[in-house]
Amino acid sequence: MKPDITWLDNPEVFRVGQLPAHSDHSYTLEGKEAALCLNGQWDFAYSRCAAERPVEFYKEDFDRSQWDKIMVPGHIELAGYDKVHYINVMYPWEGMYYRRPAGFGEEKYAKGQFSEADYNPVGSYVTKFDLPEHFEGKRVCISFEGVEQAMYLWINGQFVGYAEDSFTPSEFDLTPYIRKEGNLLAVEVHKRSTAAYLEDQDFFRFFGIFRDVKLYAKGDVHVEDLWVKPVLHEGNTSGSLTVEVKLSGDLEEATLEYVLKDKDGTVKLSGVEKCREAFTLAPGETMEVIPWDNHNPYLYDLELVLKNKEGKELECIHQSVGFRRMEIINKVMLLNGQRLKIVGVNRHEWNCRTGRCITLDDMKWDMELFKENNINAVRTCHYPDQIAWYGLCDENGIYCMSETNLESHGSWGKYACLDASWNVPGDFPQWKEVVLDRARTNFETFKNHPSVLFWSLGNESYAGENLAAMNAYFKETDPSRLVHYEGVAVNRAYEDRISDMESRMYAEPWEIEEYLSNNPKKPYILCEYMHDMGNSIGGMKSYMDLFDKYEMFQGGFIWDYIDQAIMVFDEITGEEVLRYGGDFDDRPCDYEFSGNGIVFGDRTPKPALQEVKYYYGLHK
Amino acid sequence: MDCTNKLRIVFGDATFGVHGEEFHYIFSYGSGGLESLVVKGKEWLYRSPRPTFWRALTDNDRGCRFHLRSGMWHSSDMFQNCTGIRLWVDGQEYEKPWAPNNNQWMDKSFAEKICISYTYETITVPATTVEVTYTVTVEGTIHVNVHYHGKEGLPELPVFGMRFILPTKATGFTYEGLSGETYPDRMAGGVPGVYKVDGMPVTPYMVPQDCGVHMATKWVEITRNYVKSNADHSNEEFSLRFTMDKEPFAFACLPYTAQELENATHHEELPLPRRCVLSILGAVRGVGGINSWGADVEAPYRISGEKDICYSFKIEI
């Protein structure tokens, strides 16, 4: 297979040579670490556009002696190569290029629009690594947990694959090309591709390898995918567990032992199964369980051990399991039979020094702040977060709306008007599979997290056939969760086909009352409200009062958690200062519009937080 | 005549002086206000206090185009005309008490209570007036009564109160009121108590904007530790207390005026702090939060320019 630079221009090419998305479970390999982190200083070259990139950089004999070094993970802009740019609704090429998506009008506008652009930066990355001893002879794969926005991958001079979807893992099998020592990994990252139409989130526009890169080895028998399906029965005292397992490797006479334990170590379920490619464990045996919720995020531990015919341990998994029940009864969303009240916040991954490249410590800080301030829910605006965040949500009982990486605001929200004439994904057949793939990856990766109560199709992408297809995918695949999407509020033609709830953003209190007092169709949620830009969060009472007035009012997510600002050294005083859109000569831009957090860019709380804590404490 | 329990007063040619053992107040006719407030030898005023009509726009103010409706209050905050001064001593009015009328009251050197009122005319269209009345009693307490006359056709106000600019920085302030920064539509989470704040923190909103308001305050005590006098080298702390009269007030204690905050797009552009801007407020506009691109602050938290605003407080030594 040969890489093709025009994949950048083609919305129908978004994964080449990638492994299918799968559950995010971690495991040990024969008692050792199964993953090797490849983060660190990599060799790096920056090019302004594809035409200027070092095309043959992946070859082992290519001369990289003049290259720079760059820290992986990180954004290329923050390493000083390309300009930092903040822009909200408009596409980042506004006023620079006339672009229309494939499928709309004359294809001449779509052809070569990214691959031939005179500005579409490329980051060429190279690193070398040796295999750990215990990886030798094993199937070896690589996971890029976040690369913005399109990447080509080579190892040892061989092309491996291509990936988009910046915010979910992109994984590739390196087994055919891997060697014991001196492996040469080469990644070519393009700032923009057709994915840019789908990643028009209101944030700083970055590119590069910005999340962990991990090499992992599969056991001789490997759990490719795990789907735990806990069921909490009515009454909330009993439940059952079904586990769907997909295996690969040398299955002959191999076994899978499983044990489910509660927090005290009491065995709730156990058994041994012969390994097959796909099978179901523990189908539906009733047992006493303690339910999972915000007040008591009770998790069980499911241990899975794969053994070969000699009884040697190949892989061991510890998977958290939470029993909870999400349903809509009489148009009210219920969790474990109780009316669900969301007192939540939208959260971008952000650190003022490293952008969207954040650490586990950042996440833990955020989680502590949530708990201290009675925040019970998070919307992962508007892309899937790092995997660790979902685990923290499970452990801390934070209800999670897991958003698919999709926003195409600039394709329908125009200057002073709504113009959906070239809305993507819209109804264009060329844009269907790519958004379905994003939905599938969101589901497959995070399906085992009890904290995920909602799948969200994405944000501000209008509504059309392709969003309806995403909705149908989630509904068919996962009955244990609800589907959320706000965009039908601007295209009511789809309201019976998209979203289990009436979701609105920034509705005024009287508008909410108007909906809820006029034979409402769906339970009501505010996916964004209380826009905390600067000195704000006034008038929260008017929203909180609706909880007591309308059973179908189920709360909302404040916009948003953290100011997106960047710490730089002031050119005049030399002191560290926080800067925002427009401060980098970035135009057109939306200036301070990214500063809407309940915490400042450096994570210190804004004064308004005490108000949030007070009202959320009344309702959580 | 036993004068130990009386104010010593001075009918000056251009000012009216009021003195006690530990305080010296000079009300100026020329500057149109209280020009000097000395307590225990320390000056507390940089310029005569004036009514304030402006706050540095919040992002939500800008978003709902409040400034395009109410911008005339911005210039009224900066520029105002003192159009009338009246003086009462022990209940008796002394008209035009400056020279040469003051010659006739040479022997009037003591009083139990004095009262001086200043009328300020705004440069709004239509114009209106504010009366600020200072009443000083023997123990040195200054009662300040502030009356804004509403006028039909005037736009909503972002804030209304009195602005005291103190000559040097405050080292901090202590108040009895609500925790944290509060506004009329964001004060439910404020916990009542006595709070001590170090320095004069400017809330680091990405774009400098109005901040630091404390609603429902019973008293606030400002502490400083130096003066501008070349003859005073002390670094010992000294304080002055502003106390509620009939109703609690709101206040903000910042190193900057609304205009200074308004002018900066980043905190590093703000001047080096040198003074203390203490605003004792009778009306505060809410901050809103429905959105930042059009929704106004909810109606109960807006300040009509067409209705009177009256409030009062005390300065206690």
* φ, ψ of residue B75 in degrees (nearest 5): -75, -30
**Quick one: closest CA in B to A542, which residue?**
B298
pLDDT in tens, A253-279: 999 999 999 999 999 999 999 999 999
ipTM above 0.95, yes or no: yes
Tell me: the pLDDT tens digits for B253-303?
A: 999 999 999 999 999 999 999 999 999 999 999 999 999 999 999 999 999
Q: Both A379 and A434 in a single domain? A: yes
CATH 3.40.50.1000 fits B7-316, yes or no: no
* pLDDT for res A105: 81
Would you call A73 helix, strand, or coil by DSSP?
Answer: coil
Phi, psi torsion values for A254, nearest 5 degrees: -80, 155
**What's residue A107's pLDDT?**
75
Read off the CATH number of the domain in which A422 is found: 3.20.20.80
Q: At what angle do helices A387-396 and A432-446 cross, to 10 degrees?
A: 50
Average pLDDT over residues A277-297: 94
Is pLDDT at B3 greater than 80 in this prediction?
A: no
Residue A71 pLDDT: 98
Contact A309, A19 (CB under 8 A): no
| pLDDT one-digit tens code per residue, A463-472 | 999 999 999 9
CB contact under 8 A, A506 and B209: no
Query: What pLDDT is attached to residue A484?
Result: 98
- Between the alpha carbon of residue B115 and those of residues A92, A409, B91, B92, the distances in Å are 64, 63, 8, 9
How do strand A413-414 and strand A15-16 relate by DSSP bridges?
Answer: unpaired
Share of chain B above pLDDT 90, in %: 97
> In the predicted model, what is the mean pLDDT of chain B?
97
Q: What is the pLDDT of residue B106?
A: 85
Quickly state the pLDDT bin for A372 (edges 50, 70, 90). Answer: very high
- Quote the percentage of chain A above a pLDDT of 90: 97
Residues A574 and A614 in one domain: no
Check whether residue A522 and residue A581 sit in a common domain. no
Among A460, A486, A502, A611, the one annotated catalytic: A460
- Residue B4 has a pLDDT of 66
The answer, yes or no, to whether the previous bond of A382 is cis (omega within 30 of 0) is yes
Q: Which of B182, B269, B292 to mutate to test the interface with A (most CBs of A within 10 A)?
A: B292
**Same domain, yes or no: A568 and A558:** no
**Strand order from edge to edge, sheet including A342-346:** A482-484, A452-456, A399-403, A377-379, A342-346, A553-559, A524-531, A502-505
Q: What is the pLDDT of residues A505-559, one digit of tens each?
A: 999 999 999 999 999 999 999 999 999 999 999 999 999 999 999 999 999 999 9
**What would the two tokens of residue B191 be?**
């916990």
A274 shares its domain with A353? no
> What is the structure's pLDDT at A284?
79
Q: What is the pLDDT of residue A283?
A: 80
Residue A282 banded pLDDT, cuts 50, 70, 90:
confident
Domain hosting A575: range is 564-591
The mean pLDDT value for A297-314 works out to: 97
What letter would DSSP give residue B139? T
* Residues A578, A546 within the same domain: no
CATH number at residue A320: 2.60.120.260
Q: How far is CA B91 from the centre of its chain?
A: 25
Chain B contact for A565 (CB, 8 A cutoff): yes
- Chain B nearest-CA residue for A574: B268
Give yes or no: residues A522 and A580 share one domain. no
Q: Is B61 at the interface with chain A, CB within 8 A? A: no
Q: Are residues A302 and A386 in the same domain?
A: no
pLDDT of A349 strictly over 90: yes
In chain A, which residues have their Cβ closer than 8 Å to the Cβ of B211?
535, 607
Q: What is the pLDDT of residue A1?
A: 87
Q: Identify all chain A residues contacting B180, using CB atoms and an 8 Å cutoff.
A: 607, 610
For residue A8, which amino acid is it?
L
Q: Pick from B189, B191, B210: which is nearest to A535 by CB?
A: B210
Nearest neighbour of A530 by CB, restricted to B179, B188, B289: B289
Q: Does B268 touch chain A (CB under 8 A)?
A: yes
Residues A39, A103, single domain; the answer is yes
pLDDT digits (tens, 9 = 90+) for A393-404: 999 999 999 999
Query: Does the structure show a pLDDT above 60 at B2?
Result: no
B58 touches chain A (CB under 8 A): yes
Q: Which of A324, A353, A384 is the last residue in one of the domains?
A: A324
Which residues pair with residue A301 across a beta bridge? A261, A320
Q: Which residues contact B182 (CB under 8 A, 6 or more apart)?
A: A607, B190, B213, B214, B215, B216
Active site residue A460: yes
Q: Does B188 touch chain A (CB under 8 A)?
A: yes
User: Are A152 and A56 contacting, i.e. CB atoms less than 8 angstroms apart?
Assistant: no
With an 8 Å Cβ cutoff, is A612 touching chain B? yes
Question: Six-digit token pair at A606?
Answer: 């804004």
Pair A580, A615 in one domain: no
Interface test with A, best of B195, B203, B291 (most A CBs within 10 A): B291
- State residue A36's pLDDT score: 97
Cα of B305 vs its chain's centroid, Å:
19
Query: How would DSSP label each residue in A152-174?
Result: EEEETTEEEEEE--TTS-EEEE-
Q: Which two tokens stand for residue A570?
A: 């002031």
User: Contact, A299 vs A395, CB < 8 A?
Assistant: yes
Inter-chain residue contact B59 with A535, CB threshold 8 Å: yes
Question: A579 and B266: CB-CB below 8 Å?
Answer: yes
pLDDT digits (tens, 9 = 90+) for A48-84: 999 999 999 999 999 999 999 999 999 999 999 999 9
Residue A185 pairs in a beta bridge with A127, A155
Min Cα–Cα distance to chain B from A524, Å: 17
What is the C-alpha to C-alpha distance for residues B42 and B17, in angstroms, rounded to an integer? 16
Question: Does position B73 have pLDDT exceeding 70, yes or no?
Answer: yes
SS3 B55: coil
Dihedrals φ, ψ of B248, to 5°?
A: -60, 155
- Does the beta-carbon distance from B60 to A613 stay under 8 Å? no
Q: How far, CA to CA in Å, does A446 sit from each of A197, A241, A245, A305, A334?
A: 24, 17, 15, 21, 21
Peptide bond just before B126 cis, omega within 30 deg: yes
Among the three residues A324, A342, A362, which one is the final residue of a domain in this structure?
A324
The verdict on A63 and A200 lying in the same domain is yes
- For chain A, how many structural domains are there in total? 3
Residues A585 and A541 in one domain: no
Give tens-digit pLDDT for B128-164: 999 999 999 999 999 999 999 999 999 999 999 999 9
List, for residues B247-263, the tens digit of each pLDDT value.
999 999 999 999 999 99
Q: Does the pLDDT value for residue A23 go beyond 80?
A: yes
Q: Show contacts of A347-351: CB within 8 Å, 24+ apart.
A: A347/A378, A347/A379, A347/A380, A347/A381, A347/A385, A347/A560, A347/A561, A347/A562, A348/A203, A348/A381, A348/A560, A348/A561, A348/A562, A348/A564, A349/A385, A349/A386, A349/A389, A350/A561, A350/A562, A350/A563, A350/A564, A350/A601
| pLDDT score at A416 | 85
Name the pairing type of β-strands B172-178 and A278-281: unpaired
- Mean of per-residue pLDDT scores for chain A: 97
**A128-184 pLDDT per residue, tens:** 999 999 999 999 999 999 999 999 999 999 999 999 999 999 999 999 999 999 999
